[in-house]
Structure 1
Amino acid sequence: MHLRGICGTVLAALLLLLGLGAPARAATTTTAVAAHTLWQWNVAGNTLHHASTTDGLIGQAVASIASRDADLVALNELCKGQYTALVDALRAAGWPQDSANFARFEPSLPAGTAACRGQEYGSAVFSRAPLGSADRVTLPDDGNAEQRKLLCAPLRDTPHLRFCTTHITTSNEVSANGLANNVNQLNAVLDTIEGFHAAGDTVLIAGDFNAQPHYSRLDPYYSRTLSTPSNASNTGSYRELDDNDADHCLGYGEWTAAGTPGATPPCGQEYAKIDLMFVREDRIVGAYSADSLGISTACTGVAACSDHRIVVGSATVQYEL
């Protein structure tokens, strides 16, 4: 080690012993900025498509990813065969920079259950740029057979830039620690991504959180600087990429999931917004935005290609090199 490195190490150790902490990361770290387009869809791959890869779902997903010029993609409620078909279709479309390293899948149900005609069932992330080694975090048990997960992968060439997805339980039964199952899982996700942040990572996360923006269990996520009639009492550090849309319920955003909401959505919306994209506020540079897209009816054998809308978001973020 060079003398400079030795002196720096000794100084850091002395500061820690004195309770002063390490020198500020910003003083020694080089950063860069990059714009990203996120794309997320809960495809109901089992409940609506019954694991089919030939009813139009794969084509609709790939066409939307390409037309929106997405570079970070997350899918929830996906059967393993559908994941494989998407990998093949995105390769054929020339979407990834490295056709051998752009996708990660994590099951929440193993093979051999009634779901997906016996295939694994879970969530996936895809990246136009090559991916690094994934982190696969098992979330607190909700008492059901499905074991919910958090799946995160850094970009190989910018390892401090990390993309994640999750699908939180709908269970609000109280667990042994006195908190609801969905609260425990949300807390586990937040603790994990805040751990990544503390290690110097910039995290972009998109998924089905099964919670509307104004629910109190999301208050630790949403930035304390966000306070609107539709979303107040926030205590967190993150912005949801659709929380600044004054034309579609400021602080809340556009609905994403058809069906009866768990609680009445604000701004007169009939359906709930539960598919969310979060980025830490202190890593966002400039403007950010998101939109939910109309649900396609082009899939065969089903009334619609999903019971969720595709969500597309964009943000320029700062990250460490």
Structure 2
Amino acid sequence: MNGESRRFNLSEHIADGDWLDALEQVDGPSPKLRTQVTVEHPRTIIARNRSPDIGFTQSINAYRGCEHGCIYCFARPTHAYHDLSPGLDFETRLFAKPDAAKLLREELSRKSYRVAPIAMGTNTDPYQPIERDWRITRECIELLAECRHPLFITTKSDRVLRDLDLLTGMAKDQLVAVMISVTTLDPKVARTLEPRAAHPLRRIEAIRRLTQAGVPVTASLSPIIPAITDHEIEVIIARVAAAGARDAAFIPVRLPHEVAPLFRAWLKEHYPDRAGKVMAIIRDMRGGRDNDPGFGTRMRGQGVWADLIRTRFLKARKRAGLSSERLTLRTDLFRPPGQQGQLRLL
């Protein structure tokens, strides 16, 4: 796709054409794809939001950009802040924050800090392949476990199992919950839609193992893409329920800013027979536009198609016996860093 984005003085928009570079079903970057990592030194690590339709108020993003290469990723436009392409650059020119745990310790130590669950994976995946070497996510979780601080994790990688030793202990005190994204069970669809994310069956297995270890898991079907993945709603819910997921959730596909033209190019390349139909349904769910950024509707969609998807989802969730009870984590066990030993001496 050719074109320019000048929202943040981005002079050149690089075409995103790497959807098929992971021809083998592996969890990790393709040998053909060169990844460049830049070290970032932010002054703080906890990001806060006041959005009325997001279920958390603070989050941590250990990385900017994401190797998974999901064409629908709503975080892609954030790369434009760096004068980088929300397309290929977002997947290959990454930023890592190795001081994250140190900054987190400083923020949790402040007398003014007020405990609320911290979310990880709300922008880019905390368990994308570079976590294998950088281990920034694990360092942050180690600190949160030490402080007995509540944590929500969202990922589409079974790499989360590498931290099962930490998560199991936190789960015993109702301090952690994990959301695993399962967008499709079809490996051919996944290979183009999420080319360097874990195979769908590995995500199902991650749900099973987390559940067996006592870690509460919710499955996310997000995003549901009409005429591409929506026919799988019922079977995905049945599979994640059988693996032990306590609940499931979904969001209709969102196409903010540069994501829309990237997604259109992806449709033209891989689904030319239905590209027009897919975009027509998306526009119907988004008030006649490619994207609806409005609070209250951006996460739900509107119109007949959105209602149909929601009805099917709710029926399938009920049929699978999943719980709709909201999961809450404990905040009363928190101890600021450095106080654990002092308290034991009292």
TM-score (norm. length: structure 1):
0.36
The structure with more strand, counted as a fraction of residues? 1
Q: Which has the higher helix share?
A: 2
Query: TM-score, with normalisation over the residues of structure 2?
Result: 0.34
